[in-house]
Amino acid sequence: MAHKLGFDRTEVASGLVFIAIGAWFGITSLTSLRLGSTFQMGPGYFPLVLSILLITLGSAIALKPVAQKMKDVGPPIPWRGLILVGLAPVFVALTVRGLGLAPALFIATAFTSFASRRMTPLLALGLAAGLTVFCVALFSYGLRLPIQVIGPWLQP
C-alpha cells in the first residue's frame, strides 16, 4: 500500500519549539554577549554554536517527511490538572513567608487535590489536613527546616 508522504504535525511542532529556543539563545548571544575568538572564547561563543546546532536539528525534525498514518490524537490534555497542580508551587511561593508552612501547605494541597475529577470536598479536606500535619511534623520538627509553621500574617 502506498503511503502519501506528508508532515507529522507533532514533529513539525516539536521542531518549531526547538527552532524557537535556539533562535532566542542565538539572538541573545549575538546581541548582548561578547563572542570572542576561538583562542579566547567569550561568553557568547559556545551558546551561539549550540543554538545554531539546535536550529539545524529543529529544522531537520520539522521538515522530515513521514508516511501519512492514521491521525494520532493522544489522550485529552488534563487542563484542570495543569492549572491546579501548576498553581500549587506558585501559591506556596507567594504565601509561605506570610502565612507560614502549615496554612500555605494546607490550602495548596486542598485545592490541588481537585486536579483529579474523582476528588470529593470531604476527602480533599481530610487529605490536606493529614498531609499538613505529616509534613510539618517531618520537616519542621523532624528535619528542623527553618520555615515558620505559622507565619506573621496570622500572628496577632
Partner 1 sequence: MDLFGNLALGFSVALTPFNLLCGFLGVLVGTLVGVLPGIGPIGAIALLLPTTFGLDPISALIMLAGIYYGSQYGGSTTAILLNLPGESASAVTTIDGYQMARRGRAGPALFAAGIGSFFAGTVATLIIALFALPLTELALKFGPAEYFSLMVLGLILSVALASGSVIKSIAMIVVGLLLGLVGSDIYTGSSRFTLGFLELEDGLNFVALSVGLFGLVEIFRNLENESAGKVSITKINGLLPSKEDVKRMIAPILRGTLIGSALGVLPGGSAVLSSFAGYTIEKKVSKNSAEFGHGAIEGVAAPESANNAAAQTSFIPMLSLGIPGNATMALMYGAMIIHGITPGPTVATSNPELFWGLIVSMWLGNLALIVLNLPLVGIWVKLLTIPYYVMFPAIIAFCVIGVYSVGYNAFDLYQVTLFGLAGYLLMRLRCEPAPLVLGFVLGPMFEDHLRRAMLLSRGDPTVFVTRPISATILLLAVVALVIVSMPAAKKRRESMFVDED
Distance from C-alpha of 61 to C-alpha of 64, rounded to nearest angstrom: 6
Q: Which is nearer to partner 1, 7 or 131 (CB)?
A: 131
The radius of gyration computed from the CA coordinates of the chain, to the nearest angstrom, equals 25
Q: Are 59 and 19 in contact (CB under 8 A)?
A: yes
Q: How far is the CB of 105 from partner 1 (least distance, A)?
A: 6
Of 85, 88, 126, which is closest to residue 108 (Cα–Cα)?
Answer: 88
Q: Which is nearer to partner 1, 76 or 156 (CB)?
A: 76
Q: How far is the CB of 68 from partner 1 (least distance, A)?
A: 17
Q: Which is nearer to partner 1, 6 or 64 (CB)?
A: 64
Q: How far is the CB of 20 from partner 1 (least distance, A)?
A: 11
**Site of grid cell 548571544:** 29
